[in-house]
Amino acid sequence: DAKTTQPPSMDCAEGRAANLPCNHSTISGNEYVYWYRQIHSQGPQYIIHGLKNNETNEMASLIITEDRKSSTLILPHATLRDTAVYYCIVRAYYNQGGKLIFGQGTELSVKP
Amino acid sequence: AAGVIQSPRHLIKEKRETATLKCYPIPRHDTVYWYQQGPGQDPQFLISFYEKMQSDKGSIPDRFSAQQFSDYHSELNMSSLELGDSALYFCASSLAAWGSSYNEQFFGPGTRLTVL
């Protein structure tokens, strides 16, 4: 599975968009980009995933560059409840699932 | 909606004792994962089961064992506990999604194990 690099921490003002970057320059053609987040001591929570197209759901948007070497998770209107550690994970898709390898994520602090 | 259930939520043990953590996946989910998260660390994958068979194994100590039962619940058995085993243990479940683009993992609230 490809290695990812994320900034260790970021701040965001409440109500503003939070843009969380992730570098995955060694990503291979069959690997997806997944985002999970962990609010303090709770179980990680799935946010979104994508292969090469931009994706949007009710929680966030995922923008993947054309060369797929980096991506950005966008929380359009951050709230205090979005304060969490955000993990970018790159791995191949398996029908039967597959383990998640959590690297150093980004600790996002949303401030009033 | 039903979520992943873990029991107990908190457990205190002495060194060299044994502990059993239980996980009840979301109904109809056929895959269970166990993760360990030490203080200030990121979650680390331990082991997973698909349809009651071990499907993958991570950095799980030999002192630990796990299984998935016929009703799909899973148990993580930990023996000869050490101080370093103190951690949050998460169970996650998913449903094999043949032909779908992703089968997300749903995590339980975790069991906090403290070894004294």
For B84-98, the pLDDT digits (tens) are 999 999 999 998 766
State pLDDT tens for residues A8-36: 999 999 999 999 999 999 998 888 999 99
Q: What pLDDT is recorded for position B78? A: 98
CA separation for the pair B91, A84 (Å, rounded): 19
State pLDDT tens for residues B44-70: 999 999 889 998 999 899 999 999 999
pLDDT: which is higher, A53 or A96: A53
DSSP state of B69: -
Give chain A positions within 8 Å (CB) of B48.
97, 99
Where is A6: in which H helix or E strand? none
Does the pLDDT value for residue A93 go beyond 90? no
Whether B50 contacts chain A with CB within 8 A: yes
Does the pLDDT value for residue A95 go beyond 80? no
- Closest Cα of chain A to B44: distance in Å? 7
Question: In this complex, do B96 and A97 lie within 8 Å of one another by their Cβ atoms?
Answer: yes
Q: What pLDDT is recorded for position A17? A: 97
And the tokens for A8?
Answer: 């260790």
Whole-number percent of chain B with pLDDT over 90:
81
Q: What pLDDT is recorded for position B101? A: 57
Q: Which chain B residue is nearest to residue A46, measuring alpha carbons?
A: B104
CB B46 within 8 A of CB B35: yes
Q: Give the Cα-Cα-Cα angle A88, A91, A94 (nearest 5 degrees).
A: 130
Whether A103 contacts chain B with CB within 8 A: yes
And the tokens for B66?
Answer: 């796990």
* CA atoms lying within 13 Å on the CB side of residue B57: 10
